[in-house]
Amino acid sequence: MLIVWLAVLAAIAIGLSIGPVSISMGNLSATDKEILFNLRLPRVLSAFLVGGGLALAGAIFQGLFRNPLADSYLLGVSSGASLGAAAAIVFRLASPVANFAAISFFAFIGSLAALALVFYFGQRNGAFSIFRLLLSGLGVGLFLSSLVAIFMLMAGEELKALIFFFLGGFSSSSWDTTWVSLACIPLAVVIACYFAPELNVLLLGEETAQSSGVRTGRVQLIYAVLAALLTSISVSIAGLIGFVGLIVPHMIRLLFGVDHRVLFPLTFFAGGIFLVLCDSAARTVIAPAELPVGIVTSLVGVPIFLFLVRKETGDYGF
* Residue 150 to residue 145: CA distance in whole angstroms: 9
Check residue 316 and give its pLDDT.
Answer: 35
Tally of CA atoms within 13 A in the half-sphere of 314 that contains its CB = 0
* Residue 297 to residue 312: CA distance in whole angstroms: 22
Look at the alpha carbons of 105, 107, 109, 112 in this order and tell me if their dihedral is positive or negative: negative
Residues in the chain with pLDDT < 70?
24-26, 94-99, 126-130, 157-158, 160-161, 164-166, 308-309, 311-318
Give the containing element (helix H, strand E) for 302. helix 293-313
Q: Which amino acid is at 163?
A: I
DSSP-derived 3-state class of residue 21: coil
The answer to whether residues 61 and 70 touch, using CB atoms and an 8 Å cutoff, is yes
SS3 content of the chain, % helix, strand, coil (to 5): 75, 0, 25
* Residue 33 to residue 40: CA distance in whole angstroms: 10
Check residue 154 and give its pLDDT.
Answer: 78
The answer to whether residues 143 and 80 touch, using CB atoms and an 8 Å cutoff, is no
Count CB-CB contacts under 10 A for residue 146: 12
Residue 255 exposed, middle or buried by CB count within 10 Å (0-12, 13-18, 19+): exposed
Check residue 69 and give its pLDDT.
Answer: 75
Q: Which of 198, 212, 257, 254 is nearest to 64 (CA)?
A: 198
* Residue 318 to residue 316: CA distance in whole angstroms: 7
The answer to whether residues 260 and 59 touch, using CB atoms and an 8 Å cutoff, is yes
Check residue 318 and give its pLDDT.
Answer: 37
Q: Which amino acid is at 241?
A: I
208 to each of 125, 199, 212, 264, how far by Cα in Å? Answer: 18, 12, 6, 22
190 to each of 57, 107, 171, how far by Cα in Å? Answer: 13, 22, 28
Check residue 32 and give its pLDDT.
Answer: 76
Check residue 317 and give its pLDDT.
Answer: 39
Q: What are phi and psi of 144, to 5 degrees?
A: -70, -35
